[in-house]
C-alpha cells in the first residue's frame, strides 16, 4: 500500500476569532477560580479566628479545672486529718478508760 503524501503532523490554522474565544473562556475560568480562592481565604481566616477563640476558652476551662482539683485535694487532706484526729481520740479514750497513765499513752502514740 502506498504512503499518503503530506505530513501527519500538520498544525491546524486557527482564526483570530477562535483564539479570542479561547482567551475569553480562559479569562472567565481564571476569574471564577480567583473568586473561589478569595471565598476560601475568607473562610479560612474566619475558621482561624474561631479556632483561636476556642483555644482561649479551652485554656480558661483547664485553668478552672486545675484550681478545682487543687481545692479538692486540700479538702481531702483536711478530711483525712480530721478522720485521723477522731481515730486518735478514740484510741486515747480507750486507753484512758482502761486505766493507762498519760506517759504510757504518749509512748503508745509515738509508736
In a domain, 72, yes or no: yes
CA–CA separation, 18 vs 45, rounded Å? 41
Q: Which three cell numbers stand for residue 33?
A: 477560580
For residue 101, pLDDT beyond 90: no
- Written as nine digits, the cell of 77 is 487532706
64 part of a folded domain:
yes
Burial class, 74, CB count within 10 angstroms (exposed 0-12 / middle 13-18 / buried 19+): exposed
Residue 46 three-state SS? helix
Give me the number of domains the chain comprises: 1
Q: Is residue 9 part of a domain?
A: no
pLDDT band at 86 (very low <50, low <70, confident <90, very high): very high
- Residue 101 domain boundaries: 16-110
Report yes or no: 100 and 91 within 8 Å, Cβ to Cβ.
no
31-62 pLDDT tens trace = 999 999 999 999 999 999 999 999 999 999 99
Residue 11 counted as domain residue: no
* Residue 10 maps to a domain: no
Is the pLDDT at 98 greater than 90? The verdict is: no
Give me the mean pLDDT over the 10-24 stretch. Answer: 84
Euclidean distance between CA atoms 105 and 93, whole angstroms = 10
Q: Is the pLDDT of residue 7 over 70?
A: no
Q: How confident is the model at residue 17 (pLDDT cuts 50, 70, 90)?
A: confident
For the record, the C-alpha cell of 46 comes out as: 474566619
Q: Is residue 102 part of a domain?
A: yes
Amino acid at each position: 500500500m502506498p504512503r499518503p503524501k503530506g505530513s501527519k503532523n500538520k498544525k491546524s490554522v486557527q482564526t483570530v476569532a477562535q483564539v479570542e474565544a479561547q482567551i475569553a473562556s480562559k479569562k472567565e475560568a481564571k476569574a471564577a477560580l480567583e473568586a473561589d480562592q478569595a471565598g476560601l481565604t475568607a473562610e479560612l481566616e474566619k475558621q482561624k479566628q474561631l479556632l483561636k477563640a476556642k483555644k482561649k476558652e479551652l485554656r480558661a476551662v483547664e485553668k478552672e479545672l486545675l484550681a478545682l482539683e487543687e481545692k479538692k485535694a486540700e479538702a481531702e487532706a483536711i478530711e483525712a486529718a480530721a478522720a485521723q484526729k477522731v481515730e486518735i481520740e478514740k484510741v486515747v479514750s480507750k486507753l484512758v478508760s482502761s486505766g493507762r497513765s498519760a506517759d504510757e499513752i504518749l509512748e503508745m502514740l509515738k509508736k
